[in-house]
Structure 1
Amino acid sequence: MQKTYKVQDDEPERSILARLITPDQNPGDDPLEELHGLATTAGTDVVDELVQRRSSADHSTYMGKGKVEELRLMVQKHDADLIVFDNDLTPAQIRNLEKATGAKVIDRTELILDIFAAGARTHESRLAVELAQLEYSLPRLKRMWTHLSRQAMGVGMRGPGEKQLEVDRRLAQKRISDLKAELKQVEERRERQVSARKEAPTVSLVGYTNAGKSTLMNALTDANVLAQDKLFATLDTRTRRWNLPGWGTVLLSDTVGFIRDLPHSLVASFKSTLEETRQADLLLHVADASSPTVFDQIAAVYAVLKELGIEEKDTLLVLNKIDAIHNPAILNRVLDRYPNAIPVSARSNKGLGCLIEAVGEALGREFLDIAVEVAPSDGKLLGYLSSKGEVLSREFGDESTIVHVRMPAGAMGPVHKSALSIKPSTLMDEAKAAEEASANSSEVA
């Protein structure tokens, strides 16, 4: 009787990393360090690397012919399965590179999407990742059907591959439309939920991936949330109560990490997940001070915040991982550029006292105690004041209503646009006291 053996290949894909660097880029001492972290997070075994400096990308293979041949030889030498580019490639470039090297080729965006897909846990994040993947794949569908015969183009002259391609494109477009509609509902529901929270001010942690946001959240709140030393360990927003000394209860949120060249489709898809950040009273921008590319990482985070339309929100820069810095000159170099930044170590709790004090001061200056005069017919403004601030009292008159409210300074735009008048509450109280004093003196006379 012949024996049969079941072979199961559990080994990770063997990958080669590649990057083209143009003169306008400053990649640092190790231009493939971040891509190496991404590839490892995705579960591949990195076996070799290749970097080319070139004035511009080749339109057909991105890298020059000589480097493409080097990649082919590397694939043969290491029996590699995958080539990962730290650049964004066109479908034609990917197809040509695969033909020339004999290995599967993916670009930076596809790698990040794969990591997000593997890490998505909630229904909301899965919807966001699927939408981003479909929008990325739609113009690349033709690549998936190269194994089918295709006849000359023209009416009645299309091969089965072209017919299937059109069917797949219509199905993908329909699914994209459905996902956008569902995510829109999720976004509106999340916006209502976040704006309805009035029990405490909100603080949101933002920053580059693996900067230590989750570790800092654990240090401040004893939340015991997952904190791993890997890229994109957090994809879903998590909110915990933080008992801020001298202030009271504050809601602290941990959000998905950002990265250089984060795909625009991901930013758009994750808008509902980032709603906590959009409506936060204060942002804590956590940066890895020990990283040699810390300046680029800080710039990348501000670029994503600008894309979300919240770059002007009150923000404290927190320089984390100072315990990993052994040369004080490295930290001083960062502080020279960002003198108001707060150095901390979330792992050892060093500097957290200064951070807590700074957060209390920032929240205090963020809120305004004002008296807003509103027209009786302006129900929209009355509703806005109730949703964005804490209404302390109302005074109803024949021609207007005066609302005493405590609200974030960042939410004052619509108030300035629609209110009849805006005055500090203390001035209104003084005016009222003066009127009462004058009335009393008249009665005595």
Structure 2
Amino acid sequence: MEEHAPPETRAWVIHPEIKNDQDRREPAPALDEAVALAAALPGLTVAGSEIVRLPRVHPGALFGSGKIEELGARMKAEEVDLVLVDGPVTPVQQRNLEKEWKVKLLDRTGLILEIFSDRARTREGVLQVEMAALSYQRTRLVRAWTHLERQRGGLGFVGGPGETQIEADRRAIDEQLVRLRRQLDKVARTRTLHREARAKVPFPIVALVGYTNAGKSTLFNRLTGAEVMAKDMLFATLDPTMRRIEIAGGQTIILSDTVGFISDLPTELVAAFRATLEEVLDADLILHVRDISHPQSAEQAAEVETILAGLGVAEDTPKIEVWNKIDRIPAQDREAALTTAGRKEEIHAISAWTGEGVEELTRAVAERLRPPTTRETLHLAHAEGRARAWLHEEGVIEAERPTEAGTEIDVRWTARQKERFARL
């Protein structure tokens, strides 16, 4: 019997631009990002998108009656199944708009939760998504939208025909949240043990952070040869991935790829995903990867810095800013970017896709991670040949002078090398 692929859900994306909203973002890039979010979800086809300007928010239905009618006609003509509103929508507004438009509606939080559910790979990631989803569902009716669930096991916010509406019992949700927290505690304890074991390994941790879709996973793959999902879509990576690699000068590091940041990330998700950024808190060096070809690159970078500060990442953790995707910018802008980056030690312009500038970046990483050294003069007797040989092996000798008693040696070494020499 021939299997039929589940029907696509046709979605319409709306970015409401509210006149007096102090926190409003630039509407055109915000709409582009919302469309990219929708495109990141399997089973969705974006049938259309638009910016809707509002003088004020209507408490019962978000939009005014005239605008609701106008949008409804457009969606009917386009045979839309799902409306995605790039912003918060209250349960009352959601219910009223769904009733008026005869379609399903999802706000920004619900959409991001769906994407997180689709992307989470580790046990911890899955549990965190479930907890965030339950917190979100507490105030809403839970929907089981069947055809997408069969396709990809989503959270049940997005769907189509055959929908059933289930009244969510808050007590049941609360009990489930308690169970999930217990399971998460167990997973977190296991992670702590792994981190403690890793702390005994004398390799520094380098964490890749950045706005979602900045190219972190592509850079991670280039440096490690790993096959982490690196697609041109938002939130392609959700769980931290770690690899031990050797970089310039033979130095070994642990490289960590992390979840991408995004503006206006719902608060319940910031809390839920804090643990997936634990590696950043422990990092010896942070590589802040920026998509320098993006028109909002500066704003995205500011958002990342704000989230890092909110996570409590120490200001004294060294950072290198990586201007990625220079292959995508026009030639004259590219020259300017390379010149600016070349003047600053803490900025490196690269293309993770083509490999341009990556080798120079790894050399800079090695240099930043190199422990501080001190110069000393040692006096070795003729009989201390073994100690002299060890100093040569370590490559710490700067000059040697024979003396009557043996050899006078100028060394430049790290505190660890000095300690090991003392034990010889």
**CA distance in structure 2 between the aligned counterparts of 1:240 and 1:343, rounded to whole angstroms:** 23
Structure 1 stretch 236-245 or stretch 323-332: which is displaced more?
323-332
The alpha-carbon distance between structure 1 residues 249 and 9, as it changes in their structure 2 partners (threshold 3 A), is closer
The alpha-carbon distance between structure 1 residues 353 and 60, as it changes in their structure 2 partners (threshold 3 A), is same
Aligned residue runs from structure 1 range 320-335, under 5 A: 320-329=324-333, 332=336
**Aligned-partner SS, 1:18:** strand
Counterpart position of 1:354: 360
Answer yes or no: is the 8 Å Cα contact 1:191–1:275 preserved in 2: no
**CA distance in structure 2 between the aligned counterparts of 1:217 and 1:144, rounded to whole angstroms:** 37
Q: Could you tell me which amino acid in structure 1 is paired with residue 369 of structure 2?
A: L
Counterpart position of 2:216: 213
**CA distance in structure 2 between the aligned counterparts of 1:67 and 1:16, rounded to whole angstroms:** 15
**CA distance in structure 2 between the aligned counterparts of 1:30 and 1:125, rounded to whole angstroms:** 29
Instruction: Give the TM-score normalised by the residue count of structure 1.
Output: 0.71
Q: Could you tell me which amino acid in structure 1 is paired with residue 232 of structure 2?
A: D
Query: Offset at 1:30?
Result: 4.2
Please say if 1:18 is aligned against 2:22: no
Counterpart position of 2:285: 282
**Aligned-partner SS, 1:246:** helix
Q: Could you tell me which amino acid in structure 1 is paired with residue 362 of structure 2?
A: I
**Aligned-partner SS, 2:212:** coil
Counterpart position of 1:262: 265
Aligned residue runs from structure 1 range 13-412, under 5 A: 13-23=9-19, 24=22, 25-27=24-26, 29-43=28-42, 44-141=44-141, 168-197=169-198, 198-199=200-201, 200-246=203-249, 248-310=251-313, 312=315, 313-329=317-333, 332=336, 340-364=346-370
1:336-359 per-residue CA deviation (whole Å, 9 max, x = no partner) reads: 799542111011111113312221
**Aligned-partner SS, 2:312:** coil
Instruction: Give the TM-score normalised by the residue count of structure 2.
Output: 0.74
Answer yes or no: is the 8 Å Cα contact 2:123–2:187 preserved in 1: no
The alpha-carbon distance between structure 1 residues 95 and 286, as it changes in their structure 2 partners (threshold 3 A), is same
Q: Could you tell me which amino acid in structure 1 is paired with residue 192 of structure 2?
A: E
The alpha-carbon distance between structure 1 residues 334 and 249, as it changes in their structure 2 partners (threshold 3 A), is closer
**Aligned-partner SS, 1:273:** helix
Counterpart position of 1:402: none
Query: Offset at 1:249?
Result: 0.6
Answer yes or no: is the 8 Å Cα contact 2:17–2:27 preserved in 1: no
Answer yes or no: is the 8 Å Cα contact 1:289–1:331 preserved in 2: no
Q: Could you tell me which amino acid in structure 2 is paired with residue 306 of structure 1?
A: A
Structure 1 stretch 23-32 or stretch 333-342: which is displaced more?
333-342
**Aligned-partner SS, 1:256:** coil
The alpha-carbon distance between structure 1 residues 6 and 67, as it changes in their structure 2 partners (threshold 3 A), is farther
Answer yes or no: is the 8 Å Cα contact 1:236–1:255 preserved in 2: yes
**CA distance in structure 2 between the aligned counterparts of 1:29 and 1:317, rounded to whole angstroms:** 26
Number of equivalences: 348
Please list every run of 5 or more consecutive structure 2 residues that lacks an aligned counterpart in the other structure.
145-165, 375-413
Answer yes or no: is the 8 Å Cα contact 1:322–1:331 preserved in 2: no
The alpha-carbon distance between structure 1 residues 97 and 253, as it changes in their structure 2 partners (threshold 3 A), is same
**Aligned-partner SS, 2:105:** strand
Please list every run of 5 or more consecutive structure 1 residues that lacks an aligned counterpart in the other structure.
146-163, 370-424, 434-445
**CA distance in structure 2 between the aligned counterparts of 1:267 and 1:309, rounded to whole angstroms:** 13
Q: CA RMSD in A?
A: 3.0
